[in-house]
Amino acid sequence: MIEKLKQNEELWDLFTKKEEYNLTFSDQDDRFPYYLSCQRDVFDPKVSRFLVENGLRPEYPEGKKFAVCLTHDIDFTYPAKMYTIVETAKAVAKGNLVDAVKMPFSSISKRYNPYWNFREIMDLEAKYNSKSSFYFLALNPGEKDFNYKIENLEAELKFISDHGWEVGLHGGYESYNSLEDLKEKKQRLERVLGKQVIGYRNHYLRFKVPDTWELLSKAGFKYDATFGYSDCAGFRNGLCHPFRPYNLNTEKQIDILELPLIIMDRTLLKDYMRLDFKKAWELIKRLIDKVEQCNGVVTTLWHNNMLAEEQYRKLYENLLEYVSSKNAWISSGEEVFNWWTANVEKKY
Ligand SMILES: [Zn+2]
């Protein structure tokens, strides 16, 4: 399969992301954004279509036609102080006394904390016979975006993992560029969780092609789910199938599986693409339909704090409803990794 792809120069360059080697420009977080890419048809999984035309036929559990990999990055476990004050003021203004009384306690009481919603998310997903991955930060106090100590979440991590959902690492802002940091954070999360961690996503989707894949592989991760654009949904290297990245410097495949990220919550509405709700939903459906046509895997990212916002929550519920009506196999990164390596990869 890879040999066939090599013979098609245009698709090979897209698959390997040749344009991301030796960059002149990057964005404010040192990322390669879609607006700097030469590729202008990011909603078309071209490379995957080529592979399917050349015989790739992935199968999924119970004969399902395509898969959805649900993931969540946990940047916050309680709202910042400002958030609490603003929401209290809003509740008071609306005359909602019950909410007004509850809100000031939201950052200290788990019961009234809108970001302490892991079990709620699990309950929602279980309704659709699905599971997901939760990627937790393991930052040290003083590091950028330190919001919680992973050691304080031991019971919750074990609850998630014991019920069959996955706990993976959400690498820090600098992790994507440091083997030492990746190893330290992986170990720290594993100590708290009491088991091996195989899945990864970097904070801010920071990622350097091909170096981050090499570092993640060396640090002992089995799969990564970072590879998507922050500023646009779609297929960053034309693929909607899990793949082993190829390093153009060493001319070798890298020993890690990439589950390309197709749809992130914040990309759609106010932060990047600035779509309204209706357009965002249209785009989500369109991307899912494309992946279905290629028997691929749609990897999605909904942050737990965004799920506390009504619009984002509604989009997520619509998405779950839509893919389950299409009879997709909906699961976590870990299960997609296990299935793909055991059942699909060895055939091609
Ligand atoms: Zn993050």
DSSP string spanning 154-217? HHHHHHHHHTT-EEEEEE-TTGGG-HHHHHHHHHHHHHHHTS---EEEEGGG---TTHHHHHHH
Give the Cα separation of 25 and 192 in Å (integer): 39
pLDDT digits (tens, 9 = 90+) for 112-157: 789 999 999 999 999 999 999 999 999 999 999 999 999 999 999 9
Check residue 81 and give its pLDDT. 67
Sign of CA dihedral 20, 22, 25, 29: positive
* Burial classification of residue 158, based on how many CB atoms lie within 10 Å of its CB (0-12 exposed, 13-18 middle, 19 or more buried): middle
Instruction: Select from 1.20.1560.10, 3.30.450.40, 3.20.20.140, 3.20.20.370 the CATH code of 2-77+115-347.
Output: 3.20.20.370
Check residue 33 and give its pLDDT. 98
pLDDT at 331 over 90: yes
CA of 173 to the centre of ligand 1 (A): 8
CA of 286 to the centre of ligand 1 (A): 26
Share of the chain above pLDDT 90, in %: 88
The two three-digit tokens of residue 282, written as one number: 């249209």
Mean pLDDT of the chain: 94
CA of 207 to the centre of ligand 1 (A): 13
Check residue 102 and give its pLDDT. 66
Q: How confident is the model at residue 348 (pLDDT cuts 50, 70, 90)?
A: confident
Residue 166 pairs in a beta bridge with: 133
CA of 215 to the centre of ligand 1 (A): 19
CA of 267 to the centre of ligand 1 (A): 13
CA of 204 to the centre of ligand 1 (A): 5
pLDDT digits (tens, 9 = 90+) for 224-244: 999 999 999 999 999 999 999
Q: How confident is the model at residue 104 (pLDDT cuts 50, 70, 90)?
A: low
Residue 300 pairs in a beta bridge with: 70, 263
What is the CB neighbour count within 10 angstroms for residue 25? 8
CA of 73 to the centre of ligand 1 (A): 6
* Burial classification of residue 278, based on how many CB atoms lie within 10 Å of its CB (0-12 exposed, 13-18 middle, 19 or more buried): exposed
Q: How confident is the model at residue 272 (pLDDT cuts 50, 70, 90)?
A: very high
CA-angle at 115, arms to 114 and 120, nearest 5°:
80
CA of 136 to the centre of ligand 1 (A): 9
CA of 203 to the centre of ligand 1 (A): 4
Residue 301 pairs in a beta bridge with: 71, 264
Give the Cα separation of 218 and 214 in Å (integer): 6
CA of 322 to the centre of ligand 1 (A): 26
Give the Cα separation of 306 and 144 in Å (integer): 20
Total residues found in the chain within this entry: 348
CA of 229 to the centre of ligand 1 (A): 14
pLDDT digits (tens, 9 = 90+) for 167-207: 999 999 999 999 999 999 999 999 999 999 999 999 999 99
On the question of a cis peptide bond just before residue 33, with omega within 30 degrees of 0, the verdict is: no
**How many helical (H) and strand (E) elements, i.e. helices and strands, does the chain have?**
13, 11
Check residue 108 and give its pLDDT. 61
CA of 172 to the centre of ligand 1 (A): 8
DSSP string spanning 245-285? -EETTTTEE-SSEE--EEEEHHHHTTTTT---HHHHHHHHH
Check residue 109 and give its pLDDT. 63
Average pLDDT of the residues in 273-299? 98
CA of 225 to the centre of ligand 1 (A): 12
CA of 227 to the centre of ligand 1 (A): 13
CA of 74 to the centre of ligand 1 (A): 7
pLDDT at 83 over 90: no
pLDDT at 82 over 60: no
Share of the chain above pLDDT 70, in %: 95
